[in-house]
Structure 1
Amino acid sequence: MVEPFAPHTDPAAIEDLRARLRATRWPDAPEYAGWSLGTDVHYLRDLVAYWADGFDWPAQEAALNRLPRFRATVGGLGIHYVHARAATREGPVLPLVLSHGWPDSFWRYSKVIPLLADPGAHGADPADAFDVVVPDIPGYGYSDRPTGPSPDNVAVAALWAELMTVLGYERFGAAGGDLGSGVSRYLGLDFPDRVVAVHRTDGGLPRFAGDPADLAPEERAFLAEAAAWTAAEGAYGHLHSTKPQTAAVGLTDSPAGLAAWIVEKLRDWSDCGGDVESRFTKDEILTDVTIYWLTGTIGSSMRTYAANAAIPAEQHARRVEVPSGFSLFAGDVVRPPRAWLERTADVVRVTEPASGGHFAPFEEPELYARELRDFFRPYRPTA
């Protein structure tokens, strides 16, 4: 059953959050540290003070509720999603399912949804409108937290295919980044008769079990770069994949700790030049973090990494045979060369937008929307 969904937070939950923020027990920090050892405690103090006494969650919640939000039972789980129908319906419309990553939720696409569903109202061709579907992965946002094992990217792709059936869509496009890149990949792999094309903003961290001598020089350089990035920046992912429940205790109990865990990634993975608020306002950062806090989903979101770590090697070796496109934004982490992408997918288009990072749909919504319109235009239904 599909039901409209517009949450309204109990004021008592907000007061509890504010009380916890005001009672934060702060760690010491060396004067030289800044962001070099993780989250800058001085910045975080300022952010937490605003969260406690300046942030207007009801206003942010009301803004999110202006999106057409729903919940449906899919695969035995309650799935929350945005379903924004194309403003122009004079001809066939291409449905598009967008898959988010971590540390976010449907929030990642909240700016871009209106641009994709109603391009004519934003200076673009009305014929490029999509029926946009943006679900929360189980364990994220307002979807159910699984009580058993978390679904991996393969299973989430199957859930999205079922959701699109529930919504009446037989054929559709798929797009995503981060974890959503993997979900979109498996949609193309496992449902090639339904997915017209796949667009991704990254190729994921590489896995290669063959002989490096068989790779092109740029591919070997990419593997080395990815290994160096993982060594320097991948501790969070290793923890999520191995001991997520240990971290979940503190992050579920301390809103300041939760903010520290998330804002570091918003800063490090975005095209912000070290100034996180050049890409995200305090209200935008705290909207993302508050969704995690109020839904209690930081632990369940991290368990997705443990599920994905168990995906068999043969799954990673599969090649996507439906048309695939990549928009590799300049500020993203570990951007693959085209030779690597062509090893993994039937690549028909690769672009390198000059601005934007790992959260491109939020950082550069107009540019991201244009990338999707341009890529999917040849795959739109004609009748």
Structure 2
Amino acid sequence: MSHEATTTDSQPDWVMGLQGADVLYGDAAPPEFTSAPWTVHFSLPSDLSELDGVADPLLFVHAGSAHVRAIESKMDELVTMARAQGRSWTEIGRALGVTKQTAWARLSRIVAEGKTKVIEDAGNGEVVVRSKDDITAGDGAKHDVLQGKAAASTRTTANVFRLLERHGIPTHFVEGVDDVAFRARQVKMIPLELVARRYASGSFRDRFPELTDGARLDELAFEVFEKDDAHHDPLLEFDFDDGVLRRYVPNAKAAAAIGAEAKPGDLIGEEVLGESRYSDVTPDLLAKLRVLTVSSFEAIESAWKQQGGTYIDFKIECGFDCETGELLVADVIDSDSGRLRFGDVDMSKQSYRDGAATLPEVKKKFEEVAALTDRFE
């Protein structure tokens, strides 16, 4: 761990304030590492004109490129470490001597970013799923930043995925990274929200108003919704016999957006399945998605029942492992993923959607749920 080109005196104060700067740029003794040192050595005359007639410059372009790739790979790892420790792109850009936008464009490994999480490429067929403190409702129409929400969400998700793995349910979860992030297999997500319901609530009651709120259903309901915020995630019906995909009004909010005469459960429209965005969804795939959804819900439901909780419903997403092609339960499963009650007390994000709880109260619920999932067996 050394740097011969510069000295302590030539470094800005913020650099010298970083841990290890006294070793890299000063005279402090280096620590004892157990792994072998990683070094790059490449010598050229400072005046490149001296290479004329001695060596073809392409020789050094070729030789140097391998070192550049090696350095870039280490830079990627270092930036990933910095991000995992919570360092901002502004800080990373300052370390590089560029703007945060340039740093992000050059070194960001972001695969996707949503309202509440960021997914970064971690290499080796894996990603890092990093939660945000953002909390939203109404397809993003309602939005707040809830300090500590990311940590609670990640803690809950990690515990739930570990529970599912113990039940033999394949998931993308690999291991935790820190309080707000976990490693997972990189998957090609299927743009469907898969819902299981044990009790009548939410959009289900919008479509079946004759049911009492909280009425236990005769059998576990399985429903499939399109991931489409702009149209409030329509309910889907796959008619494989006729080769037709049908979309239905999912809830009262979507009905109001369509028009005064629209009602939850009304047919929005239909199209040829083979010409839709779901042309690759087959009866076999849908059956497998149903099994994953139902088995996941039942495992989580049982875990909550052991603690006196009632799991009302939940939604999950699935995808195919980008390397192996295996179908996996993916995304996150936290307090935002389903309705959970202890007696008459709602412990999910529903109280935020309804405005029935203050932000501190919502935060407390997220944290209490996360702590309870530590007890999952």
The TM-score, its normalising length taken from structure 2, stands at: 0.29
Query: Which entry has the higher C-alpha Rg, 1 or 2?
Result: 2
The TM-score, its normalising length taken from structure 1, stands at: 0.29
Q: Which has the higher strand share?
A: 2
